[in-house]
Amino acid sequence: MLERADLPERVEIKDVSPRDGLQFEPNVVSVDDRVHLVDSLTAAGVPHIEVTSFVSPKWLPQMGDAETVMTRIERKPGVTYAALVPNPKGAERALAAKPDELMVFVSASETHNYKNVHCSVSESLGGFHRICEMARGEAVPVTAVIVTAFGCPYEGRVPIHAVLDLAVRLESMGIADITLGDTVGVANPLQVAEMVKAFRLNASMVRVGLHFHDNRGTALTNLLAGVISGCTRFETALGGIGGSPFSPGAGGNLATEDAVYCLQEMGIKTGIDLDRLMEASRFLEKIVGHPVPSRVYRSGGRMVPAGYGGSARE
């Protein structure tokens, strides 16, 4: 059964488009435009924003000048402006830019972690220890994303207990906010529900978030499964941009517009103004230079499609 009484009043959205969304865009977006994107998300009422990552600009020129972006965005009180870091060196740079949150990431599968950051999962966790110490000194909370949490392109389906074990290790070093990422879009709704339930039963000290990619069209459906199961924290990207550099457009993030629209239609609050969010989408589409995958953006949201009229004959 799916009943209003079982749904939460409110869901927290973190928009990851300025980082996860833009990091593999073929065109490097200017600092000005990246700042304006973050400010547009703030203006739309997005409560959490992943602003940038502090990685080597040699690797990812798209995330260059991360310090300047962090300095120039307009920070609204109450909004969390997060920075992603791959290692202690990145954390040092990030902390100097005063983020509200440091995000670290590790894969649920060894092979993916090695391909992604060229070290083992244990080595990644070793770095997190140092990052947590550094962040504690600045009173900045550290959160983590477990990527490939629902399936790995090299190792296949990831068992729930492996994700739980990893989360418990993260929590033991003080990282209690943990997002589970479906990095290649292979999660199914039942698996999502079972994962959230397993965390509630076995790792209730962890605050679970969910992050879905839409390779197989399941992202919004998985969000619904998460919401039904009691999860109220989701990462989405404006326009549905992002995903693997090897299949542009095909495996983007769940679009923030699509998530907000569907949640609000069910009476679940997000604090986000859909019309202002769509203004941000229009800007995003301009700066990336190609159509964005969001369906709600394309159809115009709640309104009746402008072109619909005359005889539909069905």
Q: Which of 153, 169, 198, 276 touches a second copy (CB under 8 A)?
A: 153
By beta-carbon proximity to a second copy, the closer residue of 154 and 161 is: 154
- Binders of a second copy among residues 155 to 174 (CB under 8 A) are 156
Residue 25 CA, chain-centre distance (Å), reads 16
- Binders of a second copy among residues 88 to 127 (CB under 8 A) are 105, 112, 115-118
- E-strand stretches of the chain: 12-15, 48-53, 80-84, 101-107, 142-147, 177-182, 207-212, 233-236
Q: Are 104 and 90 in contact (CB under 8 A)?
A: no
Six-digit token pair at 17?
A: 């488009």
Q: Is 137 in the site for a second copy (CB under 8 A)?
A: no
φ and ψ of 182, to 5 deg: -95, 75
By beta-carbon proximity to a second copy, the closer residue of 39 and 177 is: 177
Q: Is 275 in the site for a second copy (CB under 8 A)?
A: no
Q: Is 313 in the site for a second copy (CB under 8 A)?
A: yes
Nearest to 261 by CA among 296, 293, 287: 296
| DSSP string for residues in 190-236 | HHHHHHHHHHHHH-TTSEEEEEEB-TTS-HHHHHHHHHHTT--EEEE
State in angstroms the smallest separation of the CB of 137 from a second copy.
26
Q: Is 2 in the site for a second copy (CB under 8 A)?
A: yes
Q: Which of 10, 247, 269, 275 touches a second copy (CB under 8 A)?
A: 247
Residue 32 CA, chain-centre distance (Å), reads 22
Q: How far apart are CA 299 and CA 301, in angstroms?
A: 6
Q: Is 5 in the site for a second copy (CB under 8 A)?
A: no
- Binders of a second copy among residues 178 to 197 (CB under 8 A) are 181, 183-186, 188-191, 193, 197
Q: Is 128 in the site for a second copy (CB under 8 A)?
A: no
- Binders of a second copy among residues 36 to 95 (CB under 8 A) are 55, 59-60, 86
Q: Is 251 in the site for a second copy (CB under 8 A)?
A: yes
Q: Is 9 in the site for a second copy (CB under 8 A)?
A: no
Q: Is 216 in the site for a second copy (CB under 8 A)?
A: yes
Q: Which of 218, 236, 256, 270 touches a second copy (CB under 8 A)?
A: 218
Six-digit token pair at 214?
A: 């839409």
By beta-carbon proximity to a second copy, the closer residue of 1 and 139 is: 1
Q: Is 246 in the site for a second copy (CB under 8 A)?
A: yes
State in angstroms the smallest separation of the CB of 169 from a second copy.
20
Six-digit token pair at 134?
A: 């550094």
Q: Which residues contact 184 (CB under 8 A, 6 or more apart)?
A: 148, 151, 152, 153, 213, 215, 244, 251
Q: Is 255 in the site for a second copy (CB under 8 A)?
A: yes
Q: How many residues bind a second copy (CB under 8 A)?
A: 76
- E-strand stretches of 2-112: 12-15, 48-53, 80-84, 101-107
Stretch that binds a second copy, among 72-80, 166-174, 214-222, 275-283 (CB under 8 A): 214-222
Q: Is 202 in the site for a second copy (CB under 8 A)?
A: no
Q: Are 164 and 198 in contact (CB under 8 A)?
A: yes
